Amino acid sequence: GIVSPDPLGFGLQATRDDCTLLNAHGQPQAGLHAVGHPLRGVFWESNAVAEHVPQATKVAQSLLAQLADDATRYGTDQQQAAA
């Protein structure tokens, strides 16, 4: 499946560092993140805004890093194609 439940049945499996959801094989699903209640099994306490803000920050930082990597990669590819 695209995502998998956490072993305790409280939500979905995800990485702790950037809240990326994991598939049935335990592999991260690039670009698929969760915040809040679906991560109760990962962070245990995930019911209030005070817990959601750090999770959302992790997701935002991950997405910005992906965008920067993509911009670098595609910018380099376009420069090489033009050469």
Query: What are the pLDDT tens digits along the chain (83 aa)?
Result: 899 999 888 999 999 999 999 999 999 998 899 999 999 989 887 778 888 999 999 999 999 999 999 889 888 655 566 65
Asked whether the beta carbons of 59 and 33 are under 8 A apart, the reply is: yes
pTM here?
0.77
In this prediction, residue 8 carries a pLDDT of 86
In this prediction, residue 28 carries a pLDDT of 96
Q: Which long-range contacts (CB under 8 A, 24 or more apart) does 16-19 make?
A: 16/42, 16/43, 17/58, 18/58, 18/59, 18/61, 18/62, 19/55, 19/58, 19/59, 19/62
Supply φ then ψ for residue 81, to 5 degrees: -65, -35
